[in-house]
A and B are shown apart, each in its own frame.
Chain A
Amino acid sequence: MKLVKNAKSIALALALGLSAVPAWAADQRLLNSSYDISRELFASYNEHFAAVWKEKTGKNVEVRQSHGGSSRQAQAIIEGLRADVVTFNQVTDVDILHERGRLLPEDWREQLPNASSPYYSTMAYLVRKGNPKGIQNWDDLARAEVSSVFPNPKTSGNGRYTYLAAYGYAQKAFAGDEAQIDEFVKTFLSRVAVFDTGGRGATTTFVERGIGDVLITFESEVNNIIAEYPDQGFEVVVPKVSFLAEFPVAVVERHAQRNGNLDLARAYLEELYSEEAQRLLAGFSYRVHNEVVQAEFAEQFPELELLTIEEIAGSWSNAMEVHFGNNGKLDQLQRR
């Protein structure tokens, strides 16, 4: 009988599906909502934390990971994704959890050291083999024969950081002369070959389509790209001045409380500041605050002047309005 046969195969498939959904032998489970390129970092850190937690409390903890663009991740948490902690790459995306959902207190940045940013990075350049155009700093990117690639600041945090870095450089170089700053940033933007919507798209444009002389992205990501395309001979250039890109972390208190994970969630984030964890983070090309680890990795992270959002635009909310809002500075400077 055909129908019986079908039913049998369906039952079989069902059993297969269920058995593939494993039951974890964990005492506690934590959900970490993170940005899209942090998978390996947290896979490694979670292992470290599980060992630390086991030693401290004797309990087995399993940390589950959700990855995606951090604005979308924040939106999902507001809509009910019950993440205990967030480890994002944009401060504004954590702020939204307070503004729209009251899921954490307004002063979340004061809950942990270094404004709740256990590690940081900056915008660096990936140039083609031998750096044929001799690109060293932001003024090189405004030269007529140089074309650059980075994601659209309208849609990507990565692109916003790049824009702000160039703007901050110009503020310093022209001692605050607004007309000259605008002129420089305008030229800089006009040298962009392609504005992709996200970091991964920009990488594909630069690497696989061979467009542009320089790809501007996080210093932490540049090494991933070199590892992914070892035979291309790409080189890293860290400019003399760049933007301080913070990676904010916070406990989503409402959710963590509900999940009964408040202490665990706090411990999970606090452990990020331990020397061992900082070493692990540095191993993934992130800059860290721990001085011992800084000394160990001094060679990998050339010194540069890091500009904060406060120096460049006063605050994030101000930057979003003045620079990235409709008909804001970015829109004006992009008109050719």
Chain B
Amino acid sequence: MTSNSRERLLGLFERMLLVRECELKLAELFSDGEVPGFIHLSVGQEAVAIGVMDALNDSDTIASNHRGHGHAIAKGVDLDSFFLEVMGKEEGICGGRGGSMHVADMSVGMLGANGIVGAGIPLAVGSALAHQVQQNNNIAVAFFGDGALAEGVLHESFNIASLWKLPILFVCENNGWSEFSPTSLQFVAEVRDLGKAFKIPFRQVDGNNITAVADASDEIVSDMRKNGGPRVLECMTKRVHGHYEGDQQKYRDADELASLGDYDPIMLCEGELRKMKAADKDITAIRNRIENRVSAAADVGRAGTLPSFDRLLSDVYTPVQEA
């Protein structure tokens, strides 16, 4: 145990905690009626977003899905802009046009969350194609859940990525649920076997273990930058909240729900940190810092202005002066 690895884990812990606090704050704002529409939270899956993103550069690109808050925050979307967007404000990262399911920030390579299951996967393929044509040594990452395994574009994308040796990392966040149904009742294959079928190197990790995810991602991404071609990383994780906020999850077994705390990546990480002799005050300081930061972002979100309808038509197409 070096102090380097402890510092690294403290950093990962802090970033996971940021995602967690944001999600919990959004749950609160949602139940208070301050978030319009509906939101899909990634509580319990923070280690995947933070662990994978730890291996990426700003110029790498990611395509996310409907459960994408963690991906956006981890990729570096400004927190105030993020809250403003999810709360439907003019100053939001997308001007209040997209909301939770469409948070994007081109400046940090976040090509967008997505409202269509599986739709981000071929977008990431295209982004990887751009990296390959531009020979810039960047990679693209597609985040998708196990529910997307049954979508046709996933299989097309695996095939094309392998065929063209595209620099794309397919990250399956396997939480066992396809919306309201167990994936075991929906999909017969294993991701491992898909990788094999399409001749893409595959790796599975404990998606609730931040160290495992971060280390695997580091190794995979370094290998990709050196040797090219696609990879598949399956992160086994748990969905704590419902498919969307307000989903009572009556379709889930009570014992399963009760056991979810045992898998909490943040709690596990904190235990790890204590084993590494991290100081209580450091952990408390992190907690306070994150709580204050998220609280401040939520306040900024509340203070944002409601978007004006006037400018909308001018953004359907690129205005002539920009063209």
B is bound to A: no
